[in-house]
Structure 1
Amino acid sequence: MMLTSALPDHEDLMQRIARDLIDSYDEELELEIEDRNIDGLDPAARSSDKAARQAYFKELFRLQGELVKLQDWVQHSKQKVVILFEGRDAAGKGGVIKRITQRLNPRVARVAALPAPNDRERTQWYFQRYAAHLPAAGEMVLFDRSWYNRAGVERVMGFCSDDEYEEFFRTVPEFEKMLVRSGIKLIKYWFSITDEEQHMRFLGRIHDPLKQWKLSPMDLESRRRWEEYTKAKEIMLERTHIAEAPWWVVQAVDKKKARLNCISHLLGQMPYQEVPHPPVELPARERHADYLRQPVPASMIVPEIY
């Protein structure tokens, strides 16, 4: 279905796509705050965006510092944490996961992004392949999509039967209660965007050669079936919002605000404390009179083009 009155005019659309391109490049810029000129964004908007981006970076760095404290607490107190990120295609799940894990130890905070099940996995208990990625003590696992695939894409695209769909809803509350009873802290986020915003982000991917790989035939089909996904989401939230593991909805039309809001909320879900560490002292390097460093053959050295 084509959008009509909901679509912005061409000039506004191109401005928004340009801003979206800037946002995609900001992942690298977050390591060194600097300005960047992108063709297509007018000077006035660029100046306004610069101040907003700097404020965003400042708060993101502060929150990431708190995430490091959370990581230390999880590891020190042997916590087990599972965080699910669900939402439509292009809702920003991957972006917030990157910002959460950007400065954390991948041995403590790891991401599980499972591909479509293979032939063997399709014959297993549905939750089996997800259970294999659950955390041990002192670990955090962030699921970039999760067992809720059955309530979303599998339902809408016809990859599961009606009986399998209903069995999922009978099982998932008990499965999650079992996880919580075992000592796992389970947090579930749904990233919510509008019809118009997803349309714009898909156009941005089409126009950005660095992001075109993100557009799969399944993504394009999901765009066509927007209303079916909406109904599936509403049923999912209604039937799986339980006291032991409630859903939290992140308003994600503004990606930067969504990242900050999600990280801030995540930090508030756990009673973490800063773990004291002894001061680190760099030991003196040992030196031996008989040590001779061997030269590296020139044929092994990478050419210094830059």
Structure 2
Amino acid sequence: MGTAGTSTDEMAGERRQLINVAYRLLGSLAESEDAVQEAYARWYALPRSRRVEIVSPGAWLTTVTGRICLDVLGSARARRERYVGAWLPDPLPDHAEWDRGRGADPADQLVLDESVTMAFLVVLESMTPAERVAFVLHDVFRYPFAEIAEILGRTPAACKQLAASARRRVRAERPPVTAAGQADTVRHVKEAWQTKNIAALVDLLDPAAVMTADGGGMVGTVLRPIEGGALIARYMVAIADKAPGLELLERSVNGVPGLVARRAGAVTTVASFDVAHGRVTRIWAVRNPEKLRAWMRDSEGVSE
């Protein structure tokens, strides 16, 4: 069917899907929103006669959004080399808890599943742009390789190989963990952190654990990952000592149990965890204020 009868509401209805695709490709709410906005701008810039000829506006928008994201990913590596400290994806709140009718915040439209956990997104960051696009579109959203080939400008067979390569990387780097097990471990970390119990923290952290923090040069934090459970435990206690009144809240972060640090009513840190065999193996702490905008609602009345 052509687009002659396609309503504005139907076109706007594609936005949720596009935001979900773009965030998994880019890991940034702002960049995802920009990519989707640009795709719509290109759609409405088409002559009406051209739009009427397009059989599936949703597929067209997805293809254009994918190409825009591919371009962004290509330039992102150079930009992130100039980024102060480590770059981490934007942490996402649980919209069931946080959606307070604020309108078209992209965070409210994202489906929180395995493909948006911080651990998963960090693995995606290690892929080439082409691998990431092929894997996300095929394995997460079930797009056929023929459509992905149009985005990447490669053959379907080549896209299949890219997705297979990305899939092997995910399997090698993502050990399975149950949400219940992670919730228990994160709760124990919170309790030990609040009481500044270094021994308890060391017991909860894998000896080879790694902590990565993202301050973006806007707030103080470590610029390089901290390696080793004992070092991480001492660093966490040092943070608590330097920030009297720090409040820790158990919150869903990208769909899995995490912690939010709040001081004087303002969210200062959102922490994600990777857990294996009851111990924390990775901590990702996002402190860059620009990446915490979706969490500012927490300072407006949400508490334990």
Same fold by TM-score greater than 0.5? no
Question: Normalised by the size of structure 1, how large is the TM-score?
Answer: 0.22
The structure with more radius of gyration: 1
Question: Normalised by the size of structure 2, how large is the TM-score?
Answer: 0.22
Report the structure, 1 or 2, having the larger strand content: 2
Report the structure, 1 or 2, having the larger helix content: 2
